[in-house]
Amino acid sequence: MKLKDGSNFPNFGLGTWFLGENPLTRAEEIKAIRTGIEMGVNLIDTAEMYGNGLSESLIGEAIRQTGRDSLYLVSKVLPENAGSTRLEKSLDATLRRLGTDHLDMYLYHWRGSYPLEETVGRLQQMVDKGKILRWGVSNFDTDDMEELLEIPEGRECCVNQVLYHLGSRGIEYDLLPLLRDEGIKVMAYCPLAQGGSLRSKLLSSSVVKEVAQKNGVSVFQLLLMFVLHMDGVCAIPRSGRSSHVKELVEASRMELSEEDYRKISEAFPAPNHKTYLDVV
């Protein structure tokens, strides 16, 4: 897909929430990242919050052998670091851990106490310095986006990363249409419903299992395919196992019939009213 600046943006990538925090699983997690890269995945999403930098350090080690040039690296700044001189210091630490001199995308993780205009200004400064190529936000609901877009430089925002999956479709009511109108893409975290209480309902759904079986895919693959089917949406599922990454990459290259998409959509319909933005 294309971002508003005309650059290409992958519709599928690897999320890394919780990766790097357990020394016992580190080797397998590095293998999982490298497996994805070997299969052609170039987008890797992380954040300074994840393990207080441990996720970024894990990625830095994983990509040291594969090379940086073909990768699309995304990280996020915490609200308490999103203003004053703290943002650049925080970004520099992220770059050191990743072993790179720039990010392809830098996201404001969620709203904090710094004035939004100040944060936007700092992000634009990092673009001017070449430390990031572009920026976006995360966990911004409709009112947040409307406020952002009133700031002149706010229209440089390229993506909004939010929770989105078959069982959590609240963004389809008003946020997703707004983003589409503004040419801002969605990065869907937890597309496999890895957070929250709806996962069990999705995994036990007779309709979901029926459609998955009909297409010869797992339920998790089906959930990913649903998200990727949505226009203007990139999915970043997290996995620390190489075998699981292989399944997800394979699913990212598959399509269901429109009838099958309709069936699972009707089983878990989008709300017809405004809902609060899900964050877990």
The residues that are catalytic are 50
Of the candidates 183, 85, 97, the one whose C-alpha atom is nearest the C-alpha of residue 134 is 183
- Neighbouring residues of 194: CB distance < 8 A, sequence distance ≥ 6: 237, 238
Burial 123-147 (b: 16+ CB within 10 A, else e): beebbeeebbbbbbbbbbbbebbee
- Assess contact for 162 and 175: CB atoms under 8 A: yes
Q: Residue type at 260?
A: D
